[in-house]
Amino acid sequence: MLDMRILSNTAALAACVVLLTTGRAEAQVCTSTQSCLTTHGTGGCNSATCCTSVCVLDPTCCSGSWDSECVSLANQNCIGYCGASVNGTCFAAHSNPACNNATCCAAVCAIDAFCCSATWDASCALYAGAVCAGTPGTCGVPSTGSCFTAHQNGACDNLACCTAVCTVDPTCCSSSWDFFCVTAAQSICVEGCAPIFEPNVLPEEELCGANGNDPCYAQPGGLPEPVTVGRQTRGALGRVADTTDPIDVDVFRFTVADANGDGSANVSLTFSSSPVAWAAIVPDTACAPIASALIHIGSQLCVDVTSAKVCLAAGDYRVIVAAGTYPTIGGADITCNSPNKYAFTINLVEQCGSTCNAATGSCFATHEAPGCAEPTCCGVVCAADPFCCENIWDSSCVARAGISCLTGPPANDTCASAQAAVAGTQVLNTLRADVEAGQLPKACAGATFVSDVWFRWTSDRSGPVSVETCGTWFDTVVAIYSGSCKSMTLVGCNDDAALCVGVGGSKVLFEALCGVEYLFRVGPRGPSTGAASGEAVLTLTLGGTVCPNCPLDLDGDGMVAASDLSLLLAGWGTPARDLDGDGTTGAADLSLLLAAWGGCA
Q: Is the pLDDT of residue 5 over 50?
A: no
Is 472 among the domain residues? yes
**pLDDT reported for residue 10:** 36
- Quick: pLDDT tens for 552-598: 788 777 788 888 888 888 888 887 788 877 778 888 888 888 888 88
- pLDDT tens for 279-293 read 999 999 888 999 989
Residues 14 and 69 placed together within one structural domain of the fold: yes
Residue 242, CA distances (Å) to 206, 209, 239, 245, 435 in order: 20, 12, 9, 9, 65
Cβ atoms of 355 and 378 closer than 8 Å = yes
84 in a domain, yes or no? no
* Helices and strands (H, E) in the chain, number of each type: 16, 26
Phi and psi for 312 in degrees, rounded to 5?
Answer: -115, 145
207 and 342 fall within a common domain: yes
CB neighbour list of residue 357: distance below 8 Å, 6 or more residues apart: 375
Residues 217 and 345 in one domain: yes
pLDDT of amino acid 593:
82
The answer to whether residue 361 is domain-embedded is yes
**Tens of pLDDT, residues 539-559:** 999 998 888 777 778 877 778
| 176, part of any domain | no
pLDDT tier for residue 21 given thresholds of 50, 70 and 90: very low
- Structural domains of the chain, count: 5
* Contact call for residues 82 and 109 (beta carbons, < 8 A): yes
Asked whether the beta carbons of 586 and 574 are under 8 A apart, the reply is no
**CB distance 209 to 248 below 8 Å:** yes
In this predicted structure, what is the pLDDT of residue 123? 78
Positive or negative, the Cα torsion across 567, 568, 569, 571? positive
Which residue in 249, 250, 243, 237 sits closest to 334, CA to CA?
A: 237
Q: Is the domain of 571 the same as that of 520?
A: no
Q: Which of 78, 113, 139 is the last residue of a domain?
A: 78
Strands 487-495 and 535-542: unpaired
Q: Quick one: pLDDT band at residue 240, thresholds 50, 70, 90?
A: confident
**Percent of the chain scored above 90 by pLDDT?**
37
Residues 248 and 333 in one domain: yes
Q: Is residue 99 part of a domain?
A: no
In contact, 435 and 426? CB cutoff 8 Å: no
Q: Identify whether residues 529 and 574 lie together within a single domain.
A: no
Same domain, yes or no: 383 and 426: no
CATH number of residue 330's parent domain? 2.60.120.380
Q: Write out the residue range of the structural domain in which residue 74 sits.
A: 4-78
Q: Clarify whether residues 245 and 329 are in a common domain.
A: yes
Residue 60 to residue 377: CA distance in whole angstroms: 53
Residue 154 forms part of a structural domain? no
Same domain, 365 and 401: yes
Q: Is the peptide bond before 289 cis (omega within 30 degrees of 0)?
A: no
pTM above 0.85, yes or no: no
Cis-peptide, bond into residue 527, ω within 30° of zero: yes
pLDDT reported for residue 350: 67
Q: Tell me 246's DSSP state.
A: P
CB 169 within 8 A of CB 387: yes
Element (H, E) at 520: strand 517-526
Say what the pLDDT of residue 528 is.
56
Query: Are both 434 and 460 inside the same structural domain?
Result: yes
Phi-psi region of 83 (alpha: psi -120 to 50; beta: other; left: phi over 0): left
Q: Which of 42, 57, 78 is where one domain is finished?
A: 78
Minimal CA–CA distance to 179: which of 112, 110, 132, 116? 132
Summary mean pLDDT of the chain: 84
Please indicate, yes or no, if residue 423 is contained in any of the structural domains.
yes
Phi, psi of 453, deg, nearest 5? -125, 160
Look at residue 253 and give its three-state secondary structure: strand
Task: Report pLDDT for 412.
Answer: 96
| 78: number of Cβ within 10 Å | 24
What does the pLDDT read at residue 83?
95
Are 395 and 442 part of one and the same domain? no
Instruction: State which of 372, 405, 438 marks the end of a domain.
Output: 405
Query: With contact defined as beta carbons under 8 Å apart, do 391 and 270 qualify?
Result: yes
Indicate whether 593 belongs to any domain.
yes
Q: Phi/psi of residue 126, each to 5°?
A: -65, -45
CATH code at position 474: 2.60.120.1220
Q: Which one has a higher pLDDT value, 383 or 258?
A: 383
Same domain for 342 and 206, yes or no, is yes
Given a contact cutoff of 8 angstroms between Cβ atoms, the answer to whether 522 and 535 are in contact is: no
